[in-house]
Structure 1
Amino acid sequence: MIEDFCKNGDDMNNMLMLDMYAQNIAEMVNWLMNDVGVTFQDGLIFQAEYQKDRVLYPVGAAKGLTQCLIDSMEAGDAEYMLDTRATELITQDGKVCGVKAQGIDKDYVIYADAVLMASGGYGYAKDLLPESLQSVLYYGPTFATGDGQKMVMAVDAKFDLFDLGKIYPNGVEVAAGTAKSTIWPNAAAFSASGILVNLDGQRIVNEKASNNDLKQVLMEQPGQIMYLFMDAESFDAFCSRAGENGISDEEIAAWLENNGSCAPIFAHGETIDEVCAIVGMNAEGLAATVARYNGFVEAGNDEDFGRPAAFLAKGIGEGPYYIVEQKPRFATTMGGVVLTGNMEVVNSQDQVIPGLYACGEMANLVHGSNSPVGANVSWALTSGYLAGEAVAKALNK
């Protein structure tokens, strides 16, 4: 696992945090299953970022996982406050001892023996983002405003990798500057016969490569766009998993009605010539690509890009055909605070800031330059579990 993460993260990972992650992720999963009530689909899922199948998929996807966590919290005696925005850390003699917060009609001053920052990233905070991320389509939550980062900056917390963000290669532009992910619909299409092509109609990559490799190819394309080409069976598979990424049947129907006239491009036609004319793609090139790909399927070997044989089970069939845009998308920030092995935040002098802990995207250095599939969620859970244990131990609870 450590080797996979270092390779994927360009060896920029915080090794202390990565070792903690690797040593404790199994315990965290047991906690989820035994104490929180999370269930997982059978088996481990293939993702090219990993040498071995590592990905567990929760029943009900992220929504189901989140609901289990909420139910577990509500079954205990934890108090939580909605519509209440933390704005400032309270310190006394160098120790963090609480927070100030703003409610809808009331301000709060809340004192505590320890403060755990689990406030997420800063992907929606334009004032904190580097130039390289300013123009990338954003698909994350609008509450990722960097409030937590600004709060800990005020107490001299040490940061690293603050100029990095996780760019995925599978976005569709649903509004100006805003994307939705098609990562799971794409996976379904690739399990059938979906392929990735450029405007010349040529395949440009192994569709089952890592997201990092797919991203590199995408960013080299004119206009930073490539296209997912599908026959009817592959498109049906694509649609069957769209809801897992928050794309509704109604949205897909509307995009198909627009038929490539505006973003996002969801073009369709009865023939290759028809669908290519809509997006300005070379139809002869795409027809030749389809014939070549189907030859690889028949032979069980992708001579061009090495798509695994398990994903060469079906050739591209008759029309109608569909072309869906693929653009870079971004939400997760890689930068974060530096922690001790006890999940404590350190300052610019590498000294512990007493009373201050962090987890999740707030302390995301475990991934290095790029996070593999599933790792942001599992790091949030593992680091949150460890931070909770550390705070409880410090407070003798």
Structure 2
Amino acid sequence: MTIEKIAGETSAKIGTACSRRHFLKGATAAGALAAFGLAGCAPKAKNEMAATGNAPSNAADINWDEETEVLVVGSGYAGLAAAYEAAKAGAAVRVIEKHKMAGGNSVYADGQIAVVGSAAQAAADIEDSIETFMNDALTAGLNLNYKDKLQLMGEKSNEVFEWTVNEIGVEWAQDDATGAAQLIAQGGHTVTRCIPPLENSGAGIVKPLLAKLSELGVEVETGTQLIALVRDETGRIVGATVAEGCSDYDPATASSRTNVKTTRGVVLATGGYGKDVAFRSAQDPRLDETVGCTNFEGATAHGLKVALDAGVMGMQLDQIQCYPYTSPEEDSFGCAATWIEAESAYAPTIDPTTGKRFVNELTDRKRFCDAMFEVGTPLLQIGSVDNVPDWCAESLENALAAGVTREFSSLEEIASEFDVPLDGLKAQMDSYNACVTAGEDTEFGKLFNPDAKPVVTAPYYVTRAWPKVHHCMGGVKTDIDCRVIGNDLEPIVGLYGAGEATGGVHGACRLGCNGTLDCLVNGRIAGQQVAALEPVA
């Protein structure tokens, strides 16, 4: 069985196993996991078998089996950044991950990051500011974002980017002309500030972080799930109950349960709940089982429910983002999404019933998806060989190999295949290409990449696009120091949160590349803060 199947990124419709970036393409499951350091370590053997029902949540009722200073729950960007900073500070750290391999949903992410004031922007003479960054995020987020968190992210964006390069060893794509990092346009950003990793996948960030943790003696324990948070008589979090050896993300299948005492604290980095249809549709009834999802199978509300049971305040749980770049021909994220998103900076997206554009292809995801749902039928992205930058050429190859993106020799052929009005299509392509040549989109105000060219040369690359659930903006409430807030609106001592597990950062809509930034900035802060917390006996 291939690792693509294990990762759950199969497509029943096209019969092709396909991970987001094919970053494990061609490897066997065991070999790939070991080679990339994503497999984690096997759960510790226990004699006690797991039992169903709730675990004790009061310290007075607990017999501790193990002890650590810091327990990090989740091994995506946020969890790994938190674990690294805590371990670097000298704390004893344990990291658990309910998935069968380390990295969580971050492994399947683009890995692109938004950076304000980078050397790449300076090399390209691009002016940017914290205020512009915040305004972009607030516009997309409908002003539901917490401004202090946005400002902190913007201020620390270049610092965290340099940290990934100089301390963690992440490799980012480079611009051949300047030698600086590659800059790309992303939806909702009014300034070009986003940088893709060289590997063109979140694995390009996850793997170096795992390697750095391994150097510090910290390994990720996979198949291990949080069951309960434990509070003492003062209300402080002093430990957790975890289920080890779980299969299919079900604690009832665990080989054992372990009560882990934490002398400093717990970091919640459990990600979102996009794959949890029952929970997400309870928050937003539109997002029922008929709507697909880009996330891996473990993206459920399990960790969030544990936190809520412990008295944590949840916030903005109905703010769930759909992703406009996926194909209805594929299950989950599939192969084409990476190409569709990359090509959105270059190619028009067409309503097949009219042959016309209907939206700025680089608007934020909420506005893009809302416009798509209003059209009511899958859309056509029409790119060409003129606009295939080196950094996304492999994405195109993967989409073509999967049969989801198709080549056409003319606009006439496209119109015939998809029943598009030919006159409308030709007029629209002429208009769009004139905008690219002029460097200004007079139709919808799209921000063109500097290397964008008119879409005029066959072969044309056509991909159908339709939204899927992608990111949960809501989660547990935290303060600026990543301390988790309780229902009494006070910080819960010994409990921290970062990444998609938390709410308030992105408001109603997360801008592309801000997710990576959020996870790394706040993951680092959570790790630093928990390591500095006065320990309990």
Shift of 1:82: 1.7
SS at match of 2:150: helix
Shift of 1:120: 0.8
Q: 1:348 to 1:203 in 2, by over 3 A?
A: same
Letter of the aligned partner of 2:261 in structure 1? Y
Q: Give distance in 1, aligned partners of 2:185 and 2:345.
A: 11
Q: 1:300 to 1:54 in 2, by over 3 A?
A: closer
Q: Give distance in 2, aligned partners of 1:65 and 1:86.
A: 24
Query: Is 2:270 the partner of 1:119?
Result: yes
Query: Is 2:216 the partner of 1:76?
Result: yes
Match of 1:156 among 294, 300, 311: 311
Q: 1:242 to 1:363 in 2, by over 3 A?
A: farther
Q: 1:87 to 1:252 in 2, by over 3 A?
A: farther
Q: Give distance in 2, aligned partners of 1:226 and 1:152.
A: 40
Residue equivalent to 2:176: none
Query: Is 2:436 the partner of 1:282?
Result: no
* Paired positions, count: 380
**Contact 2:349–2:379 under 8 Å retained in 1:** yes
The within-5 A match list for 1:331-370 is 331-370=470-509
What stretches of structure 1 move > 6 A for 4+ residues in a row? Answer: none
Q: 1:97 to 1:219 in 2, by over 3 A?
A: same
TM score, norm. by length of structure 2: 0.64
Match of 1:99 among 233, 240, 247: 240
Query: Is 2:372 the partner of 1:186?
Result: no
Q: Deviations over 1:214-248 (max 9, x none)?
A: 3332222123x2210234444xx28972755xx87
**Contact 2:325–2:341 under 8 Å retained in 1:** no
Shift of 1:381: 0.8
Letter of the aligned partner of 2:226 in structure 1? A
Shift of 1:201: 1.0
Residue equivalent to 1:132: 286
Match of 1:226 among 379, 384, 388: 379
Query: Is 2:510 the partner of 1:390?
Result: no
Q: Give distance in 1, aligned partners of 2:273 and 2:225.
A: 15
Q: 1:201 to 1:87 in 2, by over 3 A?
A: same
Q: Give distance in 1, aligned partners of 2:440 and 2:232.
A: 66
Residue equivalent to 2:122: none
SS at match of 2:286: helix
Query: Is 2:401 the partner of 1:253?
Result: yes
Residue equivalent to 1:195: 348
SS at match of 1:22: helix
Query: Is 2:221 the partner of 1:66?
Result: no
Q: Deviations over 1:274-314 (max 9, x none)?
A: 32222222223212323333444555554433445656953
Query: Is 2:248 the partner of 1:109?
Result: no
Q: Give distance in 1, aligned partners of 2:460 and 2:199.
A: 30
Q: Give distance in 2, aligned partners of 1:343 and 1:309.
A: 36
Q: Give distance in 1, aligned partners of 2:334 and 2:158.
A: 31
| Unmatched 5+ stretches in structure 2 | 1-132, 174-179, 246-254
Letter of the aligned partner of 2:204 in structure 1? G
Letter of the aligned partner of 1:272 in structure 2? L
Match of 2:516 among 368, 372, 377: 377
Query: Is 2:323 the partner of 1:171?
Result: no
Query: Is 2:170 the partner of 1:38?
Result: yes
- The structure where helix makes up a greater share of residues is 1
Letter of the aligned partner of 1:196 in structure 2? T
| Unmatched 5+ stretches in structure 1 | 256-263
Q: How large is the Cα RMSD of the aligned pairs?
A: 2.9
Q: 1:172 to 1:98 in 2, by over 3 A?
A: same
Q: 1:102 to 1:218 in 2, by over 3 A?
A: same
SS at match of 2:213: helix
Letter of the aligned partner of 2:370 in structure 1? Q
Letter of the aligned partner of 1:170 in structure 2? Y
Q: 1:304 to 1:3 in 2, by over 3 A?
A: closer
Q: Give distance in 1, aligned partners of 2:157 and 2:535.
A: 24
Q: 1:389 to 1:137 in 2, by over 3 A?
A: same
Letter of the aligned partner of 2:479 in structure 1? T
Residue equivalent to 1:259: none
Letter of the aligned partner of 1:7 in structure 2? T
Shift of 1:203: 2.2
Q: Deviations over 1:98-145 (max 9, x none)?
A: 121222233222111211111111111122102132243201111111
**Contact 2:187–2:511 under 8 Å retained in 1:** no
Percentage identity across paired residues of the two chains = 22
Residue equivalent to 1:55: 194
Letter of the aligned partner of 1:228 in structure 2? Q
Letter of the aligned partner of 1:131 in structure 2? P
SS at match of 2:357: coil
Q: Give distance in 2, aligned partners of 1:340 and 1:277.
A: 55
